[in-house]
């Protein structure tokens, strides 16, 4: 089914170089949330009415290609629909029209307005349009729904054109319409711009349709917050809060404990298993996934990170990292891209990892840096030890075998390989490979006689 998303407006109130509908909330641009709602309602033939600036940046930001029609100059919402229809072959059936700045809409709401347009039988007047309305707290900048004595919708009046009596009406036009496309095409050329904003209002189609004897059916949305449009950054923050609360609620219903939803920040790509616990002041972003029984937080941020089962992560920052089961991280650890921790690994306070794989049961419990490295299982990487992975020009790799013991304040100058079961003494500066079972100490590190 066909849909138009109106998104060519200047969005001046955002005061931004970025087109309004590309501003993100909960991990995705506004426009992506709208497209997802359309998808959920089976509206997969989507055309975006865009400004040239939006058109230039849209595909890259969304990560997918949508059909666009450029509207230039932007002479109002009615003009935007005219521009789109001039570009599309006439279609049969319903045409859904909504805006790119309403990221809280749901597939359910769209299905409702499409169902209202569907022919009912019984021989009444032809339905030109079904539209979503909502009762809102006042004052409001939304267009007012004007009904007649019989409760039938007669017109939509914009705030700047409204009489005081019309301004007092608290039923608003959400800006979501299902049109009979044939009738809409016939009515659009009759719009005028004789109004306070000098624009061609799509909303004026309603009075024209009614004057021609067609029906306009309102679909009252019980929760006005679903229809909130975003015009500035204050409204963006309010919408983010609502969307975040929705995501928290959804995961709590799936069996996740969220200590404080007010300070838990989730994004729409996040996946959580049951019996996950999220402690206060924690953000899970991007494609982060957390396995059953794991606890994240407080004061933590995970981006595009996958966490296994029964892990404990506190007061830490993890980016593009992978954790197996029963892993402990923090407090105050920093896992940078490519940290890959096998089951049972422990990472303690003030430890930084980057592009490093740690095998089963390995530990770096305090004050360490491990970068561009591969550690076997049960390696002990002591306090203050580091991989010197950068020689000023190149990044070099460190390899450490199973059961090796890297002593306090060891500096492993890469490229270097430490064999299985080897030991580096406290403070050693290791500049050559260490054989399996070998023990080295000093600066530069030299072999100790084998243990007797």
Q: Which residues bind ligand UD1 (CB under 6 A)?
A: 6-9, 49, 71, 74-77, 79-80, 99-101, 142-143, 156, 158, 172-175, 201-203, 229
Crossing angle for the helix pair 52-62 and 30-40, to the nearest 10 degrees = 70
Residue 11 binds to Ca ion (criterion: CB under 5 A): no
In 3D space, the residue among 418, 416, 447, 441 whose CA is nearest the CA of residue 428 turns out to be 441
Question: Catalytic residue among 79, 334, 346, 366, which?
Answer: 366
Smallest gap from Cβ 78 to Ca ion, in A, equals 14
- Residue 153, strand partner residues: 147
Q: Residue 180 to residues 94, 98, 110, 117, 185: CA-CA distances in angstroms?
A: 5, 14, 15, 8, 9
Nearer to ligand UD1, 68 or 316 (CB): 68
Nearer to ligand UD1, 98 or 434 (CB): 98
Smallest gap from Cβ 13 to ligand UD1, in A, equals 9
Taking a C-beta distance cutoff of 8 angstroms, is the pair 134, 172 a contact?
yes
In 3D space, the residue among 99, 92, 87 whose CA is nearest the CA of residue 184 turns out to be 92
Structure tokens at 334: 């920093």
| Exposure letters 161-181 (e unless 16+ CB within 10 A, then b) | bbeeebeebbbbbbbbbbbbb
Structure tokens at 219: 């679909």
- How far apart CA 223 and CA 172 sit, in angstroms, is 12
Question: Residue 250: helix, strand or coil by DSSP?
Answer: helix
- Structural element, H or E, at residue 346: strand 346-358
- Segment interacting with Ca ion, rule: CB under 5 A, options 55-63, 83-91, 228-236, 260-268: 228-236
- How far apart CA 442 and CA 448 sit, in angstroms, is 10
Smallest gap from Cβ 229 to Ca ion, in A, equals 4
Report 35-54 residues binding Ca ion (CB under 5 A). none
Residue 229 binds to Ca ion (criterion: CB under 5 A): yes
- How far apart CA 275 and CA 267 sit, in angstroms, is 19
Annotation says 79 is catalytic: no
Nearer to ligand UD1, 101 or 301 (CB): 101
Smallest gap from Cβ 144 to ligand UD1, in A, equals 8
Smallest gap from Cβ 205 to ligand UD1, in A, equals 10
- Segment interacting with Ca ion, rule: CB under 5 A, options 148-156, 214-222, 224-232, 394-402: 224-232
In 3D space, the residue among 12, 2, 55, 1 whose CA is nearest the CA of residue 31 turns out to be 55
Smallest gap from Cβ 198 to Ca ion, in A, equals 17
Nearer to ligand UD1, 203 or 244 (CB): 203
Nearer to ligand UD1, 216 or 345 (CB): 216
156 contact choice in ligand UD1, Ca ion, none (CB below 5 to 8 Å, kind-dependent): ligand UD1
- How far apart CA 52 and CA 56 sit, in angstroms, is 6
- How far apart CA 153 and CA 146 sit, in angstroms, is 6
Smallest gap from Cβ 99 to Ca ion, in A, equals 6
CB closest to ligand UD1, residue no:
143
Sequence-separated (6 or more) residues with CB below 8 Å from residue 384? 366, 367, 368, 408, 409, 410
Interaction site with Ca ion (CB under 5 A) = 229
Which residues carry out catalysis?
366
């Amino acid at each position: 089914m066909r849909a138009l998303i109106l998104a060519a407006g200047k969005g001046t109130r955002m005061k931004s170089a970025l087109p309004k509908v590309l501003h993100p909330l909960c991990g995705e641009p506004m426009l992506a949330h709208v497209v997802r709602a359309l998808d959920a309602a089976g509206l997969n033939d989507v055309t975006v009415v865009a400004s040239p600036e939006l058109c230039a940046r849209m595909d890259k930001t969304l990560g997918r290609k949508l059909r666009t029609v450029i509207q230039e100059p932007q002479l109002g919402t009615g003009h935007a629909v005219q521009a789109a229809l001039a570009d599309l072959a006439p279609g049969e059936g319903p045409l859904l029209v909504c805006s790119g700045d309403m990221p809280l809409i749901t597939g359910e709401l769209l299905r409702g307005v499409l169902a209202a347009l569907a022919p009912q039988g019984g021989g009444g007047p032809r339905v030109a349009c079904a539209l979503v309305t909502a009762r809102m707290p006042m004052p409001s900048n939304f267009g007012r729904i004007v009904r007649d004595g019989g409760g039938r919708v007669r017109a939509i009046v914009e705030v700047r054109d409204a009489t005081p009596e019309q301004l007092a009406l608290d039923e608003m036009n959400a800006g979501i319409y299902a049109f009979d496309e044939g009738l809409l095409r016939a009515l659009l050329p009759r719009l005028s711009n004789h109004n306070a904003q000098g624009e061609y209002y799509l909303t004026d189609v309603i009075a024209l349709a009614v004057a021609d004897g067609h029906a306009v059916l309102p679909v009252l949305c019980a929760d006005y917050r679903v229809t909130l449009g975003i015009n500035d950054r204050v409204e963006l923050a309010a919408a983010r809060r609502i969307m975040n609360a929705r995501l928290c609620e959804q995961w709590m219903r799936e069996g996740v404990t969220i200590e404080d939803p007010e300070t838990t920040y989730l994004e729409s790509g996040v996946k959580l298993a049951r019996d996950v616990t999220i402690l206060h002041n924690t953000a899970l972003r991007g494609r982060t996934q957390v396995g059953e029984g794991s606890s994240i937080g407080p004061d933590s941020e995970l981006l595009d990170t996958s966490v296994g089962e029964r892990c404990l992560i506190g007061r830490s920052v993890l980016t593009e990292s992978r954790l197996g089961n029963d892993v402990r991280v923090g407090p105050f650890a920093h896992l940078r891209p490519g940290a890959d921790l096998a089951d049972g690994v422990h990472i303690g306070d003030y430890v930084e990892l980057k592009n490093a794989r740690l095998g089963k049961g390995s530990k770096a419990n305090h004050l360490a840096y491990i970068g561009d490295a591969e550690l076997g299982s049960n390696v002990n990487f002591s306090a203050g030890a580091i991989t010197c992975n950068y020689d000023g020009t190149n990044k070099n790799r460190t390899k450490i075998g199973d059961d090796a013991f890297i002593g306090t304040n060891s500096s492993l100058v890469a490229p270097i390989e430490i064999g299985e079961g080897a030991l580096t003494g406290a403070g050693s500066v290791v500049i050559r490979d260490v054989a399996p079972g070998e023990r080295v100490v000093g600066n530069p590190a030299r072999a100790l006689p084998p243990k007797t």
